[in-house]
């Protein structure tokens, strides 16, 4: 029999950060890495609605980078932090290259689009919104503790990637993107 999933240590409304410090479960650091965890989980839906293995692999790579970010944000111990896997400018460049590849086949965007079109695209839009929320929380956290700028940059670029991915998934699956037209 495996280890029990419940420890009962969180029943008091507190949890441990990586390094041993106990904080309330509503602590901004917990909110930040919890939102990133939500994004990682939601990206699983984006993967599950893909038929193309190359795209599944790319999104899996993104999930792994987000796990790194989640651990870095959860860590309050400098010695442990140094030993964790980090992300780099290379990871941001990966997202930018993927954005550029998809953008080559997309029509120029001249109006706001309304999310939707197909299930895969819609899930990518929801993931984008979760990513934006994670970015806002991490920025707020960075006002209290030192956060590597590359983390904020990665989350910002990832939300761009997810927006372009949502558009790409509509075109790739022969669905039309719905544009917002202001009606007076």
What confidence tens digit (pLDDT) does each residue in 95-148 have?
A: 999 999 999 998 887 777 777 778 888 999 999 999 999 999 999 999 999 999
Q: How many domains does the chain have?
A: 1
Neighbours of 122 (CB within 10 A): 18
In a domain, 79, yes or no: yes
Q: Is residue 5 part of a domain?
A: no
**Strand, helix or coil at 23?**
strand
pLDDT, tens digit, 9 for 90 and up, residues 24-73: 888 999 999 999 999 999 999 999 988 889 999 999 999 999 999 999 99
Q: Which pTM was predicted?
A: 0.89
> In this structure, is residue 20 part of a structural domain?
yes
Q: Is residue 47 part of a domain?
A: yes
In a domain, 61, yes or no: yes
> Widest CA span of the chain, in angstroms?
64
Which parts of the chain are beta strand (E)?
14-16, 22-24, 113-114, 178-179
**CATH at 99:** 1.20.1200.10
In a domain, 34, yes or no: yes
**Are 112 and 174 within 8 A, CB to CB?**
no
> Is residue 184 in a domain?
no
Domain around 35: 14-179
Q: Which of 140, 180, 154, 25 is nearest to 98 (CA)?
A: 154
Would you say residue 23 lies in a domain?
yes
């Amino acid at each position: 029999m495996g280890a029990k999933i419940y420890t009962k240590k969180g029943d008091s409304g507190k949890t441990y950060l990586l390094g041993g410090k106990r904080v309330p479960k509503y602590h901004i650091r917990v909110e930040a890495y919890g939102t990133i965890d939500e994004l990682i989980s939601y990206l699983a839906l984006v993967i599950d609605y893909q038929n193309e293995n190359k795209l599944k692999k790319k999104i899996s790579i993104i999930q792994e980078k987000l796990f790194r970010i989640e651990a870095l944000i959860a860590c309050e111990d400098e010695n442990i932090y140094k030993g964790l896997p980090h992300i780099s400018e290379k990871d941001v460049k990966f997202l930018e290259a993927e954005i550029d590849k998809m953008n080559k086949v997309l029509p120029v965007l001249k109006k706001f689009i309304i999310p939707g079109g197909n299930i895969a695209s819609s899930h990518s839009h929801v993931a984008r919104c979760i990513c934006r929320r994670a970015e806002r929380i991490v920025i707020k956290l960075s006002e209290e503790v030192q956060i590597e700028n590359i983390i904020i940059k990665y989350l910002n670029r990832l939300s761009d990637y997810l927006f372009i991915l949502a558009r790409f998934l509509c075109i790739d699956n022969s669905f039309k993107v719905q544009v917002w037209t202001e009606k007076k």
